[in-house]
Structure 1
Amino acid sequence: MISYLKGIIAGIQSNSGNRHILTLEVNGIGYDLQIPGRLARQLPDSGGEVQLFTHYQVRDEIPLLYGFSSPAERDLFRFLQSVSGIGAALAIALLDTLELPELVQAIVTANVQILIQAPGIGKKTAERLCLELKAKLIEWRKSAGFFVATEGPAPGILEEVQMTLLALGYTPHEVSHALHYVSEEIGLPKDAFVEEWIRQSISHLSSESVSS
């Protein structure tokens, strides 16, 4: 119906339910779009121009318009909602918790421990996401312009490493990037001891924190 909107940011409202409403002025008309919190934090101040890709949806006879930074993000939002039990709120929570490539990777590799970090996503829901979307996303990611990385600890130890780092307070995004760095830049073998993956990841994350 509406593929995208390009206009001037009139304002962004946020409420306690973590909903972010962007009012976008297009040719003298103000459109209210629900957008992910990550996008809300990236947008320029009021008066800036932006182009957003949209998804139109009717819920309880109320028309709603959602806005996304790219066609790929909008496509993934639609994929997520195709899963039983996943509505718009949970789909946006997933997009807010993980960056696009990381979210696709978590689903394709059935990484439940990363997925349940999103608010409202339990283990059974995460498992259902992986089961129903894995094959679709493996094919879709090719046209979306990115590929799921295969580096990191071997599957047998990946979950333990991630759970430990998450328990220490690191975010899913930080954990994902740390494991990528340790694998690609340091060259730690996939089957190295769990303790070594954790030690190297914490060392990298600590140095990143100091440098920032």
Structure 2
Amino acid sequence: MIAYLKGTVTQIQKTPPNKITLTLETNQIGYEIQIPPRLAEQIRTKTEQIQIFTHQQIREDQHILYGFASAAERDLFRQLISVSGIGPQSALGLLDTLGLETLVQAIVTGNIKALTKAPGVGNKTAERLSLELKTKLGESRKGAGLSVPVVLENSLQEDLEMTLLALGYTNTEVLRVLEALNQEPDLKQAGIEEWIRRAIAWLSRP
């Protein structure tokens, strides 16, 4: 399994219906990687050196590489395609339409309206997606062995921890941000969305 590739972008090509293929040259080998449109927009030039995190799908008739800007995006993509009714194109559409942060938050909080903004995702699919993935993210949270003080109502804190872990933050970072935000009295009555927004802002400080 190829975890990631580092190389030079030689071509970005759009093919119907809305697929974007990146050709990445690594050690004189050109890899074709399907990427979300959002990532294509982030690549400034076609000759820059970049790192792409990959998921390889092997079929009888072809091998396909899907590429992402971060390991967290790649890992969420894998979780998405594990849900019945969500194929690779739907998963890319969800990531591209909502972005990693908004998508994780929508899954954890059960925001069906946000999930259905992605092409091809109806209400039933969105409900199943939120239910199944929240369960899996909860299992990942337990497996992470977090030992943090309870600073929120239990269910809200679990949602916050699941969100941050799915975004790629470490146990140590989650512990630090919970302790820091617990000192902010204006958050005591805030909802989970504000806690998530404030936590990410705190963790993103230079």
TM-score in terms of structure 1 length: 0.68
* Offset, 1:60: 4.7
Q: Hey, what does 1:62 align to over in structure 2?
A: 62
Q: Hey, what does 2:180 align to over in structure 1?
A: none
* Offset, 1:128: 0.5
* Offset, 1:116: 0.3
1:1-212 aligned at under 5 Å gives the runs 1-138=1-138, 139=141, 141=163, 142=165, 144-145=168-169, 150-151=192-193
For the Cα contact (< 8 Å) 1:2–1:55, is it kept in 2? Answer: yes
For the Cα contact (< 8 Å) 1:94–1:115, is it kept in 2? Answer: yes
Task: Show structure 1 runs of 4+ deviating over 3 A.
Answer: none
Q: Which amino acid aligns with 2:134?
A: K
Whole-angstrom CA distance in 2 between matches of 1:131 and 1:78 = 16
Q: Secondary structure at the match of 2:193?
A: coil
* Offset, 1:95: 0.2
Q: Which amino acid aligns with 2:38?
A: R
Residue identity over aligned pairs, in percent, reads: 53
For the Cα contact (< 8 Å) 1:104–1:137, is it kept in 2? Answer: no
* Offset, 1:45: 1.3
* Offset, 1:46: 1.4
Unaligned runs of 5+ in 1: 153-179, 185-212
For the Cα contact (< 8 Å) 1:108–1:135, is it kept in 2? Answer: no
* Offset, 1:151: 3.2
Q: Alpha-carbon deviations, 1:38-80, whole Å to 9, x = none?
A: 0011012111110001111023531001111111000000000
Whole-angstrom CA distance in 2 between matches of 1:86 and 1:45 = 32
Whole-angstrom CA distance in 1 between matches of 2:60 and 2:39 = 26
Whole-angstrom CA distance in 1 between matches of 2:60 and 2:76 = 23
How many residues in Structure 1 have an aligned counterpart in Structure 2? 155
Whole-angstrom CA distance in 1 between matches of 2:59 and 2:35 = 16
Q: Alpha-carbon deviations, 1:108-158, whole Å to 9, x = none?
A: 1111000000001011100010111112224254262188x8136xxxxxx
Whole-angstrom CA distance in 1 between matches of 2:86 and 2:100 = 17
Unaligned runs of 5+ in 2: 142-161, 175-190, 202-206
Q: Secondary structure at the match of 2:10?
A: strand
Q: Which amino acid aligns with 2:113?
A: Q
Q: Which amino acid aligns with 2:42?
A: Q
Q: Secondary structure at the match of 1:105?
A: helix
Q: Is 85-94 or 129-138 further displaced after alignment?
A: 129-138
Distance 1:151 1:131, change over 3 A: closer
